[in-house]
Every structure is written in structure tokens, then in C-alpha cells.
Amino acid sequence: MLTDKSSGSEPGADFDESGDSDEPAFGWMKPASSGRRTSDPTAGQHAATGDAATPDAAAAGAPEHDAARAASETTPADTVAVPAQSRAEARRSRDRDASAQERTGDREARAEGAAEGAAAVHREPSPTSAINVRPPEDEVQRRRKERDAAARSRPVGRRIVQVLMAIFLPFLLLIAAVRVVATPLFLWIEYYRPGFPGDGYGFTTDDRLTYGSYAVDYLANLAGPRYLGDLVLPSGDHLFTAGEVSHMADVKTVVLSSYGAGIVLLLFFIFAAIGLRKTRGAFGRGLFAGSFVTIAIIVALAVLAALGWEQFFTDFHRIFFANGTWTFRLEDSLIRLFPGQFWVDSALVVGVLVLLAASLMVIFCWPTPKRRAARESVGEPDAAEAARADAEAQAE
């Protein structure tokens, strides 16, 4: 700090109003001529200004200055002056405390601002907000109709499979029933049931069962016509004539073809069940529709057969066989083994079996409210789409 000698102020006047001591912060900054630590503020001042004070003047003024310092200060004698470095550390500590308080205040202010922002976010929208504006009523109705149509629509592939199931099921059940009838067991039941007509040409019941079993087995095996053509009676005559063997070969072709078609249809239904497994109830609905179609076909055939059995039997043979290849005399073995009553009973059994199977399918596949609820509970696409459409319509 510089002193102004031209202003006429006293040499020891101190213009520093900060109250800080003039004692140097480091030892090497002390004057070399001073052999002791001094607390005189004017000493450093004179040293800094470079005043040329004589040693005599300094020695004369020292006692007076020390007396003034002792009179003005009340510091005990044993108190040691605090170094400037400690005061600097104290100032830095105060500065750090002030900075910490400022940061705490900033955090509190930011927290209050965030709370106010969250409150602003959760405020209820204004009634005039664009979010609450409802579309025109005709637009709402149009969207609802589109959603309803999308919910009711079904995949084309699934519907085609269900239609094919309804068409093929009657044929599959008829083929299965024919396979049940074309067995030696059915022959035994027929020959030994009460009321079945006997043979007027000498075949006993045991003869019928033996020879008839050959004919039935021939329809299901892969043997050639010799399987029947080489059969002889005890008298040495052939059991079947050449015409009868030829007709049985034609019957075998039709029967084996129907069995092959039945296997193909069965595979179709197996693959349909696998393909429709993701949509619960789809396979059952296909069987349900096919069962009604089957019942309708069987009822129609039963009516035709009841109105004229002979005409019905003749028309049936004309469909699969050429004229003149399926008519025989009463004494031929095929007529003696399989009389007219046998074909009537066979048709009845086939019809009953098909009706029974179709009726069971109707019962177990009937879409009851409980089954519909079960389909909706597993998330069937149709029900899920309908429920979602209703929810969106209500939200609008």
C-alpha cells in the first residue's frame, strides 16, 4: 500500500479500511533488517513505499508507537498473532460454506420446480382441449361398422376347410359303416338271427357262413379272381360261375376304391384338426355342419328306399356296374348266399350306424353357451376382435 506524502498526512497514517493486517504471509517476505516479528502496520508500509527513515528516527518513534499499540489493544500478553495463512484458510472455509449453501438452495429450488412441473403434467385437460374433441357421429358409426365387419370376418382358408369337412364327412361315415358290415361277424349275425330266410337249394347255415366268408374276405384282400374261381362244392362243381366271379371282381374294385378314398378322407380330417387347432372350436364347427349334412343325406336315401326298395337297389347297381353284369338266377351261389333280405338288413345297419355317429357329433359339437364362453376365455380371434371393437366403440 502506498502513502501520499504530498497530501500532508502524517507519515504513519493508514488508509487501508479493510482491517487486514500488513504482516507478510510468508517468512521470506519480512524485512531483512528486522530481527524480530513485528506487528507494526506502518513498518511494512514504510518498507513497501521505500521511505528513507533514519535509524535514529525509527528508534525514537518506536517507544511511542509501542505505547500507543499497547494502549489501543486489549490482547493478553500470552496471545500469539494468527498467521495470515490461517486467516486465508478461514476465508476459504467460509467461501466453501457459502458455496455449499448456495448449492443446497439451488437443489431445493430445482426440486420445487420439478414438483410444480409434475403437478402441471397431471392436471386435468381443459374441456376445450383438442384431445377431448369427439369426431362427427357419422365418422364414429363408419369406424364402428368397419371394426364389426373385421371382427366378424373369418379367414378364407379356415372357412374353405370347414366347408370341405361338411361335404366329406357323410362319405367318410358311409365308408366306415360299409367296412363294419362287410365282415364275417355281420354274416354270422345275419345267418343266425331269427327270421332270416334259409336256402331252398340245400345250403346249411354252416355252409353259408363258410362260403360267404370267402366272398367277404375276397373283397378286402389283394388276391385275384382265382381266390373265388377255384372254390368247388363237395360234388366237384365250381362254387361260383364265371359271371359271378367277374361281378365279384367288379365289386372288389369298387370296395377297395372306397376304402382308399376313406383313408384319404381320414387323413384330410386329421390335417384339418391340426390346422384348426389354434382356433378352438373351429374343427368342432366343421364336424357339426357335416353331421347335419350327413343326417340330411341319410334321411333322403331312407325315404327313397322306403318308397321303392327294388328300384332303389337297381339304380344303385346301375351307378357302379354295367347292365347285365350284376343279374343272376335264383339257383346261383351269390343269390343263395346273399339273398334280398341280406341287402335290406345291410342297408338298415349302414344307415343306423351313420345316423348314430352323426347324432353323437351333433351332441358333442353343439355350440352351447358354455362352449362359446370357453372359446372366448382362451382368446379365440373372433371373440377377441369383437371384444376389442366394442371397447373402442365405448371409448369413443
d(CA 248, CA 148): 59
Average pLDDT value for the chain: 76
DSSP 101-140: HHHHHHHHHHHHHHHHHHHHHTSPPPTT-GGGPPPPHHHH
Residue 332 DSSP label:
S
Q: Are 196 and 190 contacting, i.e. CB atoms less than 8 angstroms apart?
A: yes
User: In this predicted model, which residue has the larger pLDDT, 385 or 235?
Assistant: 235
All three cell numbers of 354 = 351313420
Reported confidence tier of residue 289, pLDDT bands at 50, 70, 90? very high
Instruction: Say how far residue 283 (Cα) sits from the centre of its chain.
Output: 20
Among 154-163, 165-174, 336-345, name the one with the lowest average pLDDT: 154-163
Flag whether the pTM goes above 0.75: no
Domain ranges of the chain: 160-375
Nearest to 11 by CA among 66, 51, 47: 51
Q: What is the pLDDT of residue 11?
A: 46
The HSE-up count of residue 219 (CA atoms within 13 Å, CB side) is: 20
CA nearest to 211, candidates 189, 238, 192, 193? 238
Query: Within 10 Å of residue 221's Cβ, how many Cβ atoms?
Result: 11
Q: Does pLDDT of 334 surpass 50? A: yes
Cα 180 versus chain centre, distance:
44
Which one has a higher pLDDT value, 85 or 70? 85
Q: Give pLDDT tens digits for 55-65.
A: 444 444 444 44
